[in-house]
Structure 1
């Protein structure tokens, strides 16, 4: 099954055919001429080919303004107090309501309003602020004037100013793109006992891939009790009772499950237009991730998660696994800061990503890192005919998260059919049978019959579950001590592989 980020690489390859070269757009044009989507995508493509990632700071003022005009005009502006240094490494200690930080924000907003009023003299501050920010030194504003872009990027109070909702998607049907990773979490027919799963007491199905990570042996020492995993994804299906009223059953007891939402309402020109979002999973992807990590070891014949006695928070931060809208960027950033500010949360897992970078999401991840959270992100997955062509995606390639990808059962250094890998990969999980491409078991949207899910998505959720086993076994450990346990009990230790990092984790060894 091809569920995580199937359109990422396709979007890159489609716009590769455009004729405009990177040199045409890397410097401001002689006149402020709006660049087409094709021209913007060509520049993004050139950067991906050059350095395997795209950061908006490499683009010209004209290109950034054009990307705003070609999307929803929402700009993410990271500000800083006068004289502040090492902001990114100190975000968890910054009080944005302190006088110097508030003064910087107010001044930047006043400058934006003054510039935007050159196009519309009746604008008020409330007209341009898209969302209020209560944690990070960032503001999200509607920008239409190219002079505003130029002013912000030259401003000594501004850390970054970039389009929030632009993502290359030329040539992709909008409906298909918006449902990326969704709609496939239904019961899988033809699962074979003792081949695709093993029945474990009291009556649960353990996925075939657990044996490669010695999870059964680890269960003799730890089941995840006392730890809490925070899953950032598309939510959790209300109709799946194993993540609700039956979360505690059989060998799973005394734990909690919480469902929240950080995805803001749809807006148009700053005005809310869509319904208030709920934590319910309209996609299916988030439910499958929660099941892989934390489903109960129950009596109803459903699949069991890796950390079947951990506590769980599921957060609906996006509509699907491709983070390609301003409100999804805001939802993901708010999810990380929400998790960061919870003392009970130790592990954050996200099986979503995007082609272009987002400094606002990076800020939120740096904030969570400063709060001591252990974070895992999916390295990326695409169509089978493009897997391996594109490297580790954003935000998995960031240094403060651990990128996870999937490998086959016959060669632990062969990516799954759809999985991305690269030098930023930290860990691998066996999640695809070479013989028939069978993927691991998880919970379907409803009922007890298991579904299956593949890609770096399930690899990431599985890795989060293993980390919960380790932290439960050593509850006084810090984040770095847990991470070292995982590294030292991985197949490639002590020599990190250039494409697969530390490799497959031995959960049994890591819980010794």
Structure 2
């Protein structure tokens, strides 16, 4: 088993991957998708399979020629400068990543019960290829362009199985993600993997309004290696013992929140298909409000609001909320980018004539007892002269008294 860790600048994807090959029984591939029943996905299909919803996969390129993805990829582009115009040419050192991700979101399977089927097998995919270790443009610029392209070409959901490995993100992402939110697009992002060096969630999983996915093992327990932690995690989904389609045919066994994220992105597509009138804030709320308890107090920096439940997210009665991802990001921008946008005051040579007087610098330490005792300055400037004057008056008074007594004695004699 080899580890995929690809980085461009600070942008990375991570997963543990092993090639299963084309000779494996297709039935055995479908049998490995334990999450379809455990997380209510197959039950949700009784209501919808995501028809009419479009999921954009911003990744290394989704190979739409794979037997399980035929007919799924309806469009795409390349923003790296080295991929195919339709975004379906796998690129970079982790070229297989995008195809695996796409298959878990909207794989069609084949022959009815064979191959990989995604959470939303009737949804459409857009493949936007970016370069992890490939391309001449900065990864930050690629991401910003990819998000905007996805919105402009009809994405209802954007899947981002990647991390910048930092809490911060460039201002160009402010505009791009706000553009997505203002167009009612749900952005789903991976928490990242501690086993690949991401000890805490990084952007885009730190961006307000993003639906962040953490990872758990087959038993629904937090995955130490295959999931980072952070207070922005919204829900958790399987990130271990995964199976995904390989470019050119065959399959990969893999692990990581890179796989948990498209499982949830597909569930988001199911919710959007079942409730076409819901805005992005309420779609996200249905995902979080119906999550199953992980056995700990939620929200949790490990599980978020719990384990995603597709059937409940699609069918449960959930009160509407006024949550708005765009408003959340705007408020963050207002507070945190304010210093960058506020001009520095212009220096002036001297205060204007109308300026209020400023207090003179304090000559010594403040008097800790306030006005109850005289200050050193007061004793020096007033007390000492007053003491000298008092002594002079006392001597003068004593001399006067002595003189009066002498006069009186002289009169008696």
Give the TM-score normalised by the residue count of structure 2.
0.66
Q: Distance in 1 between matches of 2:238 and 2:242?
A: 9
Structure-2 residue corresponding to 1:229: 55
Cα deviation for residue 452 of structure 1 reads 2.3
RMSD (CA atoms):
3.3
Structure-1 residue corresponding to 2:132: 319
Q: Equivalent of 1:427, from 228, 232, 235?
A: 235
Structure-2 residue corresponding to 1:467: 268
Cα deviation for residue 196 of structure 1 reads 6.8
Structure-2 residue corresponding to 1:334: 145
Structure-2 residue corresponding to 1:456: 257
Cα deviation for residue 426 of structure 1 reads 1.1
Gaps of 5+ in 2: 316-413
Indicate conservation of the 8 Å contact 1:263/1:332, yes or no. Answer: no
Structure-1 residue corresponding to 2:374: none
Q: Does 1:508 align with 2:319?
A: no
Give the TM-score normalised by the residue count of structure 1.
0.54
Q: Distance in 2 between matches of 1:182 and 1:491?
A: 25
Q: Distance in 1 between matches of 2:188 and 2:96?
A: 20
Q: Deviations over 1:226-282 (max 9, x none)?
A: 101011001123652433xx32xxxxxxx66223212236xxxxxxxxx98762113
Structure-1 residue corresponding to 2:121: 308
Q: Secondary structure at the match of 1:446?
A: coil
Equivalent residue pairs, number: 306
Cα deviation for residue 410 of structure 1 reads 2.5
Change (3 A) 1:450 1:355: closer
Alignment of 1:256-267 (within 5 A): 257-264=74-81
Structure-1 residue corresponding to 2:184: 372
Structure-2 residue corresponding to 1:66: none
Q: Secondary structure at the match of 1:302?
A: strand
Q: Distance in 2 between matches of 1:484 and 1:502?
A: 10
Q: Distance in 2 between matches of 1:311 and 1:189?
A: 25
Alignment of 1:241-390 (within 5 A): 241-243=67-69, 246-247=70-71, 257-264=74-81, 279=87, 280-282=89-91, 283-299=95-111, 301-319=114-132, 326-342=137-153, 344-356=154-166, 357-383=169-195, 390=199
Q: Distance in 2 between matches of 1:296 and 1:166?
A: 34
Cα deviation for residue 311 of structure 1 reads 1.0
Indicate conservation of the 8 Å contact 1:259/1:315, yes or no. Answer: yes
Q: Secondary structure at the match of 1:511?
A: helix
Structure-1 residue corresponding to 2:342: none
